Amino acid sequence: MIKINLHLIEFSINSILRAKTKNIFILVIFSFLIFLLSSLFLVTNGIKEELRLTVDSLPEIIVQKMRAGRISDIEISRVEEILAVNGVQSANARVWGYYYFANAGVNFSVVGIDPYDKQYKSSIDKITKDYDFGEIEDGMIVGNGVKEVLTQNYYKEYFNFIKPDGTFKKVELKGIFKDATNLESNDLILVSKDVAYEIFNMDEDYATDIVLKIANPVEIPNIAYKLRIMFPDCRVITKEDFEVSYENIFNYKSGLFLALFIVSLFTFFMIIYDKSSGLSNEEKKEIGILKAIGWKTDDILKEKFYESFIISFLAFCFGIMFSFFFVFILQAPFLRDLFTGYSVLKPAFDLPFSFDMEMFSLIFLLSVPIYISATIFPSWRASTLDADEVIR
């Protein structure tokens, strides 16, 4: 059973306080490095989780008509042709698009809902059950981010959409919803399909795209191939294509985080190298005096262990606490911009809470034990020498 010597701990604390300027400096730098590393991991894990939820909520296949290399409106009549393909469980013609709100400099995603159609997403299906779009008529249901932006611009009960012909379409605010996927739903405005057609000035025989639900996910590549043959003027996108696209964007942005991670580790190991390269004359003299008054080598090593553990563990705790506050309370300013960019055209979204025990264990093992080892090793070398030799 390990016995903790409280007198040694008290002596270690006093030893830290005697050289408080140096130790406070080490504590601040050490805490900042751990704060930076843990903040990097928390931001990346939070955005990864948000992207995973976003990809999971996407349709299995999306069919978009292309014209001159750009997305064009697709005929709703093609839904019947798509449903005739074996393996297609359902096909929905979506009416949606981006609406740029110049006052706030953001894009809203406006989606038209037909309450009598089978919805392609469970979250939208839940909203249609909570709100009767048949009765809402000229109303809209918005995400939290949209509500905040509208309130900031004095639109509390309605919003005036500017149609392509320059006229206004007044739409009343009927409700607010919050989805599990902030990144996708925070900028979302749900209206009836009739209102969506009017806002975008679209022909009611056309839709923005067609989304498919497949009975057997294994058949998705085969069905996508058949659709490309059937509609050579269309682009067929699978959920796997979105996953690859998101992963490529994330990996590219992660390079910036990797650079910060390497710089942080390099700075940390510079401190460790300086610590392990030798003790100061004052520290050697202290060890010599302790040996002269009867301290054994293992007593000196225990005292140095307590001393280094107190500093490194406090730095670890401070760094982790500050990183949680910085990421989840302040929403990681500056660091988050490395991923989302500074000219964001969407309302801001909150990073989801993501706790990765392996990540914190890695940070702990890369900091506390290494710092303790770097302190004990030179102390052991000095404590094995004769007291008079160390003092001289």
Question: Does residue 47 carry a pLDDT above 80?
Answer: no
Distance CA 268, CA 253 (A): 24
The pLDDT assigned to 40 comes to 81
pTM passes above 0.75? no
Question: Does residue 166 carry a pLDDT above 80?
Answer: yes
Distance CA 271, CA 267 (A): 7
DSSP characters over 164-221: TTS-EEEEEEEEEE--S-HHHHTTEEEEEHHHHHHHHT--TTEESEEEEEESSGGGHH
Percent of the chain with pLDDT over 70: 81
Instruction: Quote the radius of gyration of the chain (alpha carbons, Å).
Output: 31
Q: What is the mean pLDDT of residues 198-227?
A: 93
What does the pLDDT look like over 288-316, one tens digit per residue? Answer: 777 777 788 788 888 888 988 999 999 99
Distance CA 2, CA 4 (A): 7
257 contacts 40 by C-beta, under 8 angstroms: yes
140 contacts 172 by C-beta, under 8 angstroms: yes
Question: Does residue 29 carry a pLDDT above 70?
Answer: yes
Strand-pair category, 61-67 with 70-72: antiparallel
